[in-house]
């Protein structure tokens, strides 16, 4: 069999610990046609692509799969032969790919191919040995009585874990500014949770995991209870608490009268219990993309801050998501020890009220 540069790259190397399935080419050929499609679709989507079209004919089943590298969708035509592949089947696929301007075409040959076929540029031919090797390496395939089948429950569990794992990764803080603007970053498109909910979750995770604050997140679980998004407890030796509210906004946050009343209610509701725990409420912290208003003393923050201090003896603080992401990035890249993270001068920073980027350098020394 002759081949051009885009013939199949060969089966992946077998790991030393990999189970031997004793599943040969003739076993693959004996699998039902509908199961060929299911298994190969699983291989394609498990690698990060998604199926966007499907069609079938007498001689093949065909999937159009799409990935999105560098913002531009990349479509690949994946054809699964229903019988042994000959030169006509390859030429037919190559012509269809050219006519549709597909980026690439791949022909899966679970029944094998004639030795004499030639594979042109732009077409990849995947023979039984490579299909079997990839099925054996795929964690989303289950083997019952030496026969492969899609493990759909495992697929669903992994997808759920992947969504959560995005938010557990400290490097995920790069998504914080986009979420604060109530927009998904490209990596999070398709998440079931809304951008503002993800913003709340990630902000609390940065404070609690990266920056060593204690406390409790309320968020959407307690949304009807008139509680802040979270209560943060200072990590250092000086004990105080911070009520955290995250405001995702494309245009920047501007406190309305009902927000002020809500913040006051938070303090009334939680103040006595936090006092009893030895963590009196010292700050009401709002994190957002930006804070609308004219720079200087006429910014609307100042009137709200004075009122909250007079009414509740609590300091209002505004911190942008960009600044918070910068703090967390510098802490992570600097590999600060737990003790050094707990010693950061948050009291000095939050007492600035309307926090500027330069305050981060001055008060936290980062």
366 residues of the chain, pLDDT tens digit each: 554 434 445 666 665 555 678 899 999 999 999 999 999 999 888 766 788 889 999 999 999 988 766 566 788 899 999 999 999 999 999 999 888 887 789 999 999 999 999 999 889 999 999 999 989 888 788 888 889 999 888 777 767 656 655 655 665 677 888 889 888 876 777 778 888 999 999 999 999 989 999 999 987 655 666 899 999 999 988 999 999 999 998 888 999 999 999 999 999 999 999 999 999 999 999 999 989 888 778 899 999 999 999 999 999 999 999 899 889 888 888 889 999 999 999 999 999 999 998 999 899 887
Give the domain ranges of the chain: 2-150, 170-364
Of 64, 63, 62, 44, give the one whose Cα is nearest residue 140. Answer: 44
Locus of tokens 């009343």: 261
How far is Cα 91 from Cα 89, in angstroms, rounded to an integer? 6
DSSP per-residue string spanning 2-48? EE-TTS---PPPPPTTPPP----HHHHHTS-HHHHHHHHHHHHHHTT
Q: Write the pLDDT tens digit of every residue in 18-43.
A: 567 889 999 999 999 999 999 999 98
List all residues 6 or more positions away from 293 whose beta carbon is below 8 Å from its beta carbon: 254, 299, 300, 301
How far is Cα 140 from Cα 340, in angstroms, rounded to an integer? 43
Tell me the torsion sign for CA atoms 268, 269, 274, 276.
positive
- Report whether CATH 3.40.1350 matches the domain 2-150: yes
How far is Cα 37 from Cα 195, in angstroms, rounded to an integer? 35
Q: What are phi and psi of 135, to 5 degrees?
A: -65, -40
The topology under which CATH files domain 170-364 is Restriction Endonuclease (3.40.91)
Task: Extract the tokens encoding 195.
Answer: 């951008």
How far is Cα 56 from Cα 49, in angstroms, rounded to an integer? 20
Q: Return the DSSP state at 261.
A: H
Task: Extract the tokens encoding 364.
Answer: 């936290």
How far is Cα 191 from Cα 291, in angstroms, rounded to an integer? 27
How far is Cα 215 from Cα 314, in angstroms, rounded to an integer? 18
Same fold for the pair 2-150 and 170-364: no
Asked whether the beta carbons of 43 and 138 are under 8 A apart, the reply is yes
Tell me the torsion sign for CA atoms 29, 33, 35, 37.
positive
Locus of tokens 């400290």: 170
Q: Report the chain's terminal Cα–Cα distance, integer Å.
A: 63
Asked whether the beta carbons of 277 and 324 are under 8 A apart, the reply is no
Q: Write the pLDDT tens digit of every residue in 78-125.
A: 999 999 999 999 999 999 988 888 778 999 999 999 999 999 988 999
List all residues 6 or more positions away from 116 whose beta carbon is below 8 Å from its beta carbon: 1, 2, 87
Locus of tokens 């089943």: 61
Q: What are phi and psi of 209, to 5 degrees?
A: -95, -55
Alpha helix stretches (DSSP H) within 72-212: 87-99, 128-137, 152-168, 176-180, 195-205
């Amino acid at each position: 069999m002759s081949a051009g540069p885009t013939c199949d790259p060969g089966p992946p190397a077998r790991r030393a610990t990999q189970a031997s399935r004793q599943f040969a080419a003739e076993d693959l050929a004996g699998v039902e046609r509908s199961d060929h499609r299911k298994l190969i679709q699983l291989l394609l989507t498990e690698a990060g692509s998604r199926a966007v079209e499907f069609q079938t004919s007498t001689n093949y089943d065909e999937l159009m799969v799409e990935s999105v590298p560098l913002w531009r969708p990349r479509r690949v035509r994946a054809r699964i032969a229903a019988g042994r592949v000959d030169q006509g089947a390859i030429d037919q696929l190559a012509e269809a790919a050219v006519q549709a301007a597909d980026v690439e075409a791949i022909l899966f040959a679970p029944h094998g191919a004639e030795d004499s076929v030639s594979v042109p540029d732009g077409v990849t031919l995947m023979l039984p040995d490579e299909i079997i090797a990839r099925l054996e390496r795929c964690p989303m395939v289950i083997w019952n009585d030496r026969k492969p089948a899609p493990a759909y429950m495992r697929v669903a569990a992994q997808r759920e874990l992947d969504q959560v794992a995005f938010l557990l990764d400290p490097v995920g803080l790069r998504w914080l500014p986009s979420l604060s603007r109530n927009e998904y970053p490209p990596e999070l498109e398709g998440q079931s949770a809304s951008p503002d909910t993800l913003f709340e979750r990630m902000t609390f995770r940065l404070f609690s995991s990266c920056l060593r604050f204690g406390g409790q997140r309320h968020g959407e679980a307690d949304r009807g209870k008139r509680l802040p998004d979270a209560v943060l407890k200072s990590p250092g030796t000086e004990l105080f608490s911070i009520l955290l509210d995250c405001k995702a906004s494309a245009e920047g946050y501007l406190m309305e009268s009902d927000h002020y009343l809500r913040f006051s209610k938070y303090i009334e509701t939680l103040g006595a219990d936090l006092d009893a725990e030895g963590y009196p409420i010292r700050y009401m912290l709002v994190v957002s993309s930006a804070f609308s208003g004219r720079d200087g003393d006429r910014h609307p923050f100042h009137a709200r801050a004075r009122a909250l201090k007079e009414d509740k003896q609590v300091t209002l603080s505004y911190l942008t998501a960009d600044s918070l992401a910068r703090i967390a990035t510098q802490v992570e890249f600097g590999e600060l020890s737990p003790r050094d993270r707990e010693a950061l001068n948050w009291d000095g920073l939050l007492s600035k009220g309307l926090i500027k980027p330069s305050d981060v350098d001055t008060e936290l020394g980062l």
